[in-house]
């Protein structure tokens, strides 16, 4: 059985880095035409008889200047609902308007979501992390909130297990 798992987040939060770490290889993008299909397949996590197909949901752009982007965003909002799990990536203790927009799409979709707080290695004041996680936890009923460092490989196994266990 293969289930779809969407990795979402504003640009630069570390989606590609996490994906590469999850797949254990540097080549992650299998299709370069995100706007021609409802999902762009990024890679497949396999373990025994479970498979998670990691997808990028096309059109989750944060700029809505052009009408075409608005249309793509609407398409993305409907296709995001088909996924088993959303992995919503944010960056350290930063929370921006763009994260807000992604969160609104997550809420719209109604799909279960784990919030992954990446780049924790960059947080200089570690005392800031816990209150920040609590603040994020109050925003939505996330299934889990997991602090990680994708580039250092911290917490990547946890994400991998949560993905496979969601199927």
Structure tokens, 23: 């797949």
Rounded to a whole number of angstroms, the minimum distance from the CB of residue 9 to Mg ion is 9
CA–CA separation, 36 vs 162, rounded Å?
29
Rounded to a whole number of angstroms, the minimum distance from the CB of residue 161 to Mg ion is 23
Pick from 57, 73, 149, 160: which binds ligand GDP (CB under 6 A)? 149
CA–CA separation, 74 vs 68, rounded Å?
10
Tell me how far apart the 2 most distant CA atoms of the chain are, in Å: 45
Determine the interface stretch with ligand GDP among 12-20, 22-30, 46-54, 101-109 (rule: CB under 6 A): 12-20
Helices vs. strands in the chain: H and E counts, helices first = 5, 6
Rounded to a whole number of angstroms, the minimum distance from the CB of residue 48 to ligand GDP is 28
Q: Are 147 and 49 in contact (CB under 8 A)?
A: no
Whole-Å CA distances, 149 to 13, 29, 75: 11, 21, 31
Characterize 53-62 residue by residue with b for buried, 16 or more Cβ atoms within 10 angstroms of its Cβ, and e for exposed. bbbbbbbbbe
In the complex with ligand GDP, the residue whose CB is nearer, 85 or 159, is: 159
151 near Mg ion (CB under 5 A): no
Determine the interface stretch with Mg ion among 13-21, 55-63, 77-85, 154-162 (rule: CB under 5 A): 13-21
Pick from 150, 156, 159, 163: which binds ligand GDP (CB under 6 A)? 150
CA–CA separation, 94 vs 38, rounded Å?
29
11 near ligand GDP (CB under 6 A): yes
16 near Mg ion (CB under 5 A): yes
Tell me which residues touch Mg ion (CB under 5 A): 15-16
Tell me which residues touch ligand GDP (CB under 6 A): 9, 11-17, 118-119, 121-122, 149-152
């Amino acid at each position: 059985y293969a289930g779809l798992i969407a990795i979402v987040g504003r640009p630069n939060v570390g989606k590609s880095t996490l994906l590469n770490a999850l797949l254990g290889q540097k080549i992650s993008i299998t299709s370069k035409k995100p706007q021609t299909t409802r999902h762009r397949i990024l890679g497949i996590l396999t373990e025994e008889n479970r498979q998670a197909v990691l997808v990028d949901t096309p059109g989750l752009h944060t700029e809505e200047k052009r009408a075409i982007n608005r249309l793509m965003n609407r398409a993305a909002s409907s296709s995001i609902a088909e996924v088993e799990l959303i992995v919503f990536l944010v960056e350290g203790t930063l929370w921006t308007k763009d994260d807000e927009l992604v969160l609104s799409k997550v809420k719209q979709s109604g799909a279960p979501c784990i919030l992954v707080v990446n780049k924790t290695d960059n947080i200089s004041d570690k005392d800031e992390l816990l209150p920040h996680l609590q603040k994020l936890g109050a925003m939505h009923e996330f299934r889990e909130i997991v602090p990680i460092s994708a580039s250092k490989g911290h917490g990547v196994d946890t994400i991998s297990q949560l993905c496979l266990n969601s199927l």
